[in-house]
A = this chain, B = another copy of it.
Amino acid sequence: MITTETQTDPYTAVQHFYARQMQALDARDLQGYADTFTEDATFAHTPGREPARNRDGIVADLHEFHRKFDTDPLQRRHWFNQIVLDAQPDGSLAATVYALVVDTRPEQRPQITASCVVHDVLVRDGDTFLTRSRTIEYDRG
């Protein structure tokens, strides 16, 4: 891992954090993904669905959410970019981030399934960050 010594810029550290977080999610490493949240995090990933709370809750919720893919051979990729960071008085960072969900199914061209704006609160954790809360807003036109 690239260490604090070389990664002094929080913007860069956040980009790297998101890259690792999304690669964990897309590899269905749900525990690894949940570990990128704080222990007391909230995660509202689907409108109209109660937010998941704390790491165990996030893992349980994601297992349930991913069940629909069990019979759907799908490689999903999350692209997080166009990151805007605003420092909060408590030292956390409010992040507003564009996200694309790109799905590939056998013998099909990749498709953009969703365009979203992610609203995160990020807190420092050593040389990286943790997500303390996440709310996803889906573009609907």
Contacts and interface: CB of A to CB of B under 8 A. Distances in A.
What range describes how many residues of A lie at the interface?
Answer: 35 or more
Interface in A68-119: 73-75, 77-87, 93, 96, 98, 100, 102-115
Contact of A9 (B9, B19, B102): B9
Interface string A108-136: 11111111000000000000000000000
A86 B6 CA distance: 13
B12 A82 contact: no
B112 A112 contact: yes
A31 interface: no
A20 interface: yes
B104 A102 contact: no
B79 A81 contact: yes
B112 A98 contact: no
B18 A82 contact: yes
A64 interface: no
Interface centre among A11, A18, A20, A83, by most chain B C-beta atoms within 10 angstroms, is: A11
Nearest to A6: B10
Given A110-B115, A141-B106, A11 B15 contact: yes
Interface of A: 1-3, 6-12, 15-16, 18-20, 22-23, 73-75, 77-87, 93, 96, 98, 100, 102-115, 139-141
